[in-house]
Amino acid sequence: MNSRQQQKEQRRQLILQAALDLFIRKGYGETKIADIAKAANMSMGLLFHYFESKEKLYETLIRIGSEKLKMELNFAEASPLMIFQYVTEDIFQTINANPFAAKMFVLMENAQHLDTLPSDIKEMLAEANTLIAKSIPLIEEGQRLNEIREGNPQALAIAFWNSLQGIAQHIALQPNAPCPKAEWIIAILKK
């Protein structure tokens, strides 16, 4: 990538970061495109060169978040409980190393509650619920192997994923907060 392309990509990332910060602090409706341009330290004209509207900018962030949610929960030779352990460790490592990732959890959760989003964005957001659905057979297998506690598999999946969601949101909004240990979250599932 040449220096001009690098500069364009850096500006694009700066806009995305500024918009993400504003969207999670002020909300989508209260964030104005002028606020984003000011936070990114650029003119509105330059911002529009990268994103044609606030809606397109928001949609880009939702697409980024949705891609991250498309994780597969199958690791070769790993037991169901170890798969949840790996996922937890990976998420905690990511949100500790990259504040943008933690903030995406907040954005994705907030976006779930907006009625005004286009249907294609709502479909992308539905991917979050598939993680719970994908987890149910894995929990059932772990229960069969006697490594995951008894209980409703869907309820256990909800408890697990919402714990991760809440922790990521807290760290996004309180960056100096300590991150819990992965095994504390795994205790939700462990027999």
Report residue 113 as tokens: 């509650």
- CA distances (Å), origin 182, targets 17, 34, 138, 165, 187: 27, 40, 18, 13, 9
Same domain, 14 and 91: no
The confidence score (pLDDT) of residue 4 equals: 87
Same domain, 88 and 42: no
Is 75 domain-assigned? Answer: yes
Is 124 domain-assigned? Answer: yes
Rounded to whole angstroms, the Cα distance separating 28 from 12 reads 19
Summarize pLDDT for 110-160 with one digit per residue, the tens: 888 887 777 878 887 776 668 888 899 999 999 999 999 999 999 999 999
Summarize pLDDT for 13-67 with one digit per residue, the tens: 999 999 999 999 998 889 999 999 999 999 999 999 999 999 999 999 998 888 7
Same domain, 69 and 25: no
The confidence score (pLDDT) of residue 112 equals: 83
- How big is the chain by its Cα radius of gyration, in Å? 19
The confidence score (pLDDT) of residue 124 equals: 79
The confidence score (pLDDT) of residue 180 equals: 95
Neighbours of 106 (CB within 10 A): 21
Residues pairing with 190 in the sheet = 148
- Residue 178: domain span: 59-186
Is 191 domain-assigned? Answer: no
Same domain, 12 and 89: no
Same domain, 37 and 80: no
* Cβ–Cβ under 8 Å, residues 79 and 143: no
Q: What are phi and psi of 51, to 5 degrees?
A: -140, 125
Same domain, 71 and 107: yes
Report which of 22, 24, 106 is spatially closest to residue 34, judged by C-alpha positions.
Answer: 22
Summarize pLDDT for 81-103 with one digit per residue, the tens: 999 999 999 999 999 998 899 99
Report which of 114, 156, 100, 152 is spatially closest to residue 132, judged by C-alpha positions.
Answer: 156
Report which of 95, 109, 93 is spatially closest to residue 61, judged by C-alpha positions.
Answer: 109
Report which of 101, 76, 98, 96 is spatially closest to residue 86, judged by C-alpha positions.
Answer: 76
Report residue 107 as tokens: 């954005």
Boundary (domain end) residue, out of 11, 32, 52:
52
**Tally of domains in the chain:** 2
The confidence score (pLDDT) of residue 109 equals: 86
The confidence score (pLDDT) of residue 127 equals: 66
The confidence score (pLDDT) of residue 11 equals: 93
Q: What is the DSSP letter of 148?
A: B
Same domain, 70 and 37: no
The confidence score (pLDDT) of residue 139 equals: 96
Same domain, 65 and 138: yes
Is 65 domain-assigned? Answer: yes
Band of pLDDT at residue 188, cut at 50, 70 and 90? very high
Rounded to whole angstroms, the Cα distance separating 122 from 118 reads 6
Q: Is the pLDDT of residue 76 over 90?
A: no
Same domain, 146 and 171: yes
The confidence score (pLDDT) of residue 149 equals: 97
The confidence score (pLDDT) of residue 128 equals: 62
Boundary (domain end) residue, out of 32, 52, 72:
52
Q: What is the CATH number of the domain that holds 28?
A: 1.10.10.60
Rounded to an integer, the average pLDDT of 159-176 is: 93
Report which of 96, 141, 130, 114 is spatially closest to residue 54, judged by C-alpha positions.
Answer: 114
Is 149 domain-assigned? Answer: yes
